[in-house]
């Protein structure tokens, strides 16, 4: 059985809200833009050099861009890390959805494990 998480619980655990519909950077919860490479759309966090796929042909904006723009976007994202984004902390009507709650549970479990490892490494270096 999956736990049910409220928006306040998730924000308290993360330390920030994730207000982005297509998810947020796992470092800060933000999305600083969307870039197209052909019909593929990538959300980005320039601050942390993270990227995550949104989908293909979700937005029509790619049709107004040239191959030159796509090549520039591809070069820009070449050094970015492909990450799994954080889920929005306010799921709207999806809050009670079993899939959302399971994904939130998985996300928070991984976050707790990451923090535990960082503390272990930090404690070992002291």
Residue 125 confidence (pLDDT) above 60: no
Mean per-residue pLDDT, 114-119: 85
Tokens at 74, concatenated: 């591809």
| Rounded percentage of the chain residues whose pLDDT exceeds 90 | 47
Residue 5 confidence (pLDDT) above 80: no
| pLDDT of amino acid 60 | 93
Give the tens place of pLDDT for each residue, 88-105: 887 776 667 787 788 888
Higher pLDDT, 94 or 57: 57
Domain ranges of the chain: 14-86, 91-126
Mean per-residue pLDDT, 52-59: 94
pTM greater than 0.85 (yes/no): no
Mean per-residue pLDDT, 107-120: 85
User: Which of 17-21, 50-54, 120-124 has the largest mean confidence?
Assistant: 50-54
- CA separation (Å) from 89 to 71, 97, 100, 114? 34, 14, 10, 19
- CA separation (Å) from 73 to 35, 48, 51? 6, 17, 12
Angle, helices 98-125 vs 7-14, to 10°: value is 20
């Amino acid at each position: 059985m999956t736990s049910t998480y409220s928006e306040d619980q998730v924000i308290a655990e993360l330390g920030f809200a994730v207000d982005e519909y297509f998810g947020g950077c796992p470092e800060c919860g933000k999305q600083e833009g969307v870039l197209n490479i052909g019909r593929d759309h990538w959300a980005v966090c320039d601050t942390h050099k993270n990227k995550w796929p949104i989908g293909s042909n979700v937005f029509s904006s790619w049709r107004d861009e040239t191959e030159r723009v796509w090549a520039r976007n591809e070069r820009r994202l070449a050094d970015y890390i492909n990450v799994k984004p954080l889920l929005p902390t306010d799921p709207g009507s999806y809050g009670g959805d079993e899939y959302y709650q399971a994904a939130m549970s998985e996300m928070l479990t991984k976050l707790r494990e990451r923090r535990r490892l960082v503390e272990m490494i930090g404690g070992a270096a002291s």
